[in-house]
């Protein structure tokens, strides 16, 4: 996949976010989506080398639609300006639907790659499961989060929307109460696509896959811990 073609298209889409432009440029979109699907397929192959549960993931089901849900949004722009995918075992649902942790990544119109592992905005029943898992096995989670490779790649868990007070039903004196207060169980990082260089033997797309897969491997134990919740 030529990443510059994708970011160029997304940049134009962000300036012309309307159905008329999208329809006129549909052939470009179809080509880019097919190439992005190949990239996701190759990435699944790399992930399955250290996470065998991913081997049956359907690449087509991993892709997010480009259409935005604008029913309750102030911004009525019809299309997303990202290409993105959430890779989960088999045919499980995506994290926002309660399907457990995912290997997520997106490429945006600004030429940025974002990749993440975990669950962003899990449904309330799933969030309660994760918090209860912290109660029962929080010490292991702390150990995982202290891993040098994970910290170097991702830092720590996303603290956006973190509660100020302990959630109802959880002991305020629990040793891992700060983790229990989290509303997302996810690590993420981002890099400019321009910083990903091709070599004599590989394309920029190949190097992007290697970079993402390496980060995912660093966070594999976190995904495994979450699956046990």
pLDDT one-digit tens code per residue, 53-66: 998 889 999 999 99
Give the pLDDT score at 92.
Answer: 61
**pTM for this one?**
0.92
Given this model, what pLDDT does residue 31 score? 98
Q: How many other C-beta atoms are found inside a 10 Å radius of the C-beta of residue 58?
A: 13
Beta-carbon-side half-sphere exposure of residue 168 (alpha carbons within 13 Å): 1
Predicted pLDDT of residue 98? 60
State the pLDDT at residue 71.
86
| Ranges of residues in the chain whose predicted pLDDT is under 70 | 91-98
In this predicted structure, what is the pLDDT of residue 96?
59
Q: What does the pLDDT read at residue 91?
A: 59
Instruction: Please choose, from the candidates 211, 164, 166, 216, the residue with its C-alpha nearest in 3D space to the C-alpha of residue 187.
Output: 216
pLDDT given for residue 1 in this prediction? 86
Q: Domains (ranges, CATH) in the chain?
A: 3-227 (3.30.930)
């Amino acid at each position: 996949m030529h990443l510059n073609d994708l970011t160029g298209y997304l940049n134009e889409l962000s300036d012309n976010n309307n159905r008329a432009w999208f329809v006129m440029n549909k052939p470009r979109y179809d080509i880019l989506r097919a190439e992005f699907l190949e990239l996701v397929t190759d990435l699944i192959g790399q992930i399955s080398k250290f996470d065998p549960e991913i081997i049956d993931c359907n690449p087509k089901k991993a892709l997010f639609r480009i259409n935005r849900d604008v029913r309750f949004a102030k911004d009525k722009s019809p299309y997303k300006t990202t290409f993105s995918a959430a890779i989960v075992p088999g045919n499980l649902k995506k994290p926002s639907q309660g399907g457990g942790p995912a290997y997520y990544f997106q490429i945006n119109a600004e030429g940025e790659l974002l990749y993440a592992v975990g669950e962003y905005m899990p449904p309330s029943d799933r969030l309660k499961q994760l918090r209860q898992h912290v109660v029962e096995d929080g010490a292991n989670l702390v150990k995982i989060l202290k891993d040098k490779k994970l910290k170097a790649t991702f830092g720590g868990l996303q603290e956006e929307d973190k509660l100020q007070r302990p959630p109802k039903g959880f002991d305020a004196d629990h040793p891992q109460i700060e983790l229990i207060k989290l509303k997302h169980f996810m690590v993420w990082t981002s890099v400019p696509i321009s910083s990903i260089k091709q070599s004599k033997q590989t394309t920029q797309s190949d190097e992007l896959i290697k970079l993402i897969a390496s980060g995912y491997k660093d966070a594999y134990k976190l995904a495994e811990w979450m699956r046990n919740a």
